[in-house]
Amino acid sequence: MSEKYISREKLREVQLTELEIFKAIKDVCESNGIRYFLSSGTLLGAVRHKGFIPWDDDMDVCMPRPDYNRFREIVKSKLPEDYFCIDFRDRDTDDFTVGTMIKIASKKVKVRRLRGDGRTQTVDNAWVDVFPLDGMPNGDLHRKLYGYRLKLTKRLLSLAKWKQEGVAPQNSTAKKIMRKFITVLHIPQLLNLDRKKQRYRIDNLLQKYDYYKSDYCINMLGDYELREIVPTAMYGKPKDIPFEGVSAAGPKDPDGVLKIIYGNYMKLPPKDKQVCKHCIDVIKGD
């Protein structure tokens, strides 16, 4: 289809589908003593809008690594039949819908999305991302160096994806020039990067430091990367927070978390930025 942006009505369908997926995740967590938190833009939406950011088309939750690993072990046998788990460790194929984080997806609803290049379209099952919260080194310098190591490992994963998919994000003129330079030199091919092996590398590296023994933690697999280095105590014991009429779990100090990630998070972006950037259509099955 040719529309650049999804209609408000269809965007709301996507959001409500993701809300139902979230309810399934919430039920699994609460029934099995697994700790989770609303994350990133979803947490921002909960605090600022009491639900989805009106123009947002995705939903994110995060879990301390021990809870995340337990969730990963049991979720496939606990989900209602209308949902399924996407986990790169369980799949023989390695397509676009597989991320380094877990995704819980709907079997009945699909979305047409724009890829990172802003041109290529894919049709994927609607999903909710589940991110691990991982420990960071306690020393300031050590934490900074480890953060750079994580960022480099994640960039190598991006190069591996680029090599296998042939699609690269086009976010700015500078990045377009850099990616053109990398393409001409065939850097992904020269490094012989494998996407799945690179996912294992970053997933294993992220588990180096015990979440509960770390003064700081990070959601490295999200969009904000090192901006999401947060004092672990700010997450603490989950705090009830309303989201679209549902009682969800937020961090102990949601204000502190959001200020670190977004700064003045209560200020709305300019009108021209209040647009859905990914979904362009929703497709319902039988």
131 three-class SS: strand
The alpha carbons of the chain give a radius of gyration, in whole angstroms, of 19
- Greatest distance between any 2 Cα atoms in the chain: 54
- pLDDT number for residue 174: 46
* Eight-state DSSP code of residue 57: -
Please list the alpha-helical segments (H only) found in 85-208. 140-165, 173-185, 187-190, 195-205
Residues 67-105 have pLDDT tens digits of 999 999 999 999 999 999 999 888 655 554 557 899 999
- Residue type for 171, please? N
- pLDDT number for residue 92: 59
Q: Is 161 exposed, middle or buried (0-12, 13-18, 19+ CB in 10 A)?
A: buried
- pLDDT number for residue 121: 82
Contacts 24+ apart (CB under 8 A), 144-150: 146/208, 146/209, 147/218, 147/226, 147/229, 149/205, 150/202, 150/205, 150/206, 150/218, 150/220, 150/225, 150/226
Confidence check: pLDDT of 279 > 50: yes
Asked whether 81 and 252 are in contact (CB, 8 A), the reply is no
**Nearest alpha-carbon partner for 79 in 59, 102, 101, 105:** 105
* Tokens describing residue 286: 């039988």
Residues 212-268 have pLDDT tens digits of 999 999 999 999 999 999 999 999 999 999 999 999 999 999 999 999 999 999 999
Instruction: Give me the percent of the chain exceeding a pLDDT of 90.
Output: 66
Q: What are the E-state strand segments in the chain? A: 37-38, 60-64, 83-86, 102-114, 121-135, 216-218, 229-231, 239-243, 246-250, 279-284
Report all structural domains of the chain as residue ranges with CATH numbers, in order of start: 8-135+217-284 (3.30.460)
The predicted model gives 173-193 an average pLDDT of 49
**Nearest alpha-carbon partner for 56 in 104, 99, 5:** 5
* Tokens describing residue 106: 């709907």
- pLDDT number for residue 118: 61
Residues 46-65 have pLDDT tens digits of 999 999 999 999 999 999 99
Q: Is the pTM of this model over 0.85?
A: yes
Encode 211-245: b = buried (16+ Cβ within 10 Å), e = exposed. beebebbbbbbbeeeeebbbbbebbeebeebebbe
Residues 130-164 have pLDDT tens digits of 999 999 999 999 999 999 999 999 888 877 666 44
Confidence check: pLDDT of 175 > 60: no
**Nearest alpha-carbon partner for 134 in 220, 59, 250, 200:** 220
Q: Which carries the bigger pLDDT value, residue 32 or residue 179?
A: 32
* Tokens describing residue 77: 């046998």
Confidence check: pLDDT of 2 > 50: no
The predicted model gives 169-179 an average pLDDT of 50
- pLDDT number for residue 182: 45
**Within 10 A of 174 (CB to CB), how many other CB atoms are there?**
8
Locus of tokens 């965007």: 11
- pLDDT number for residue 220: 96
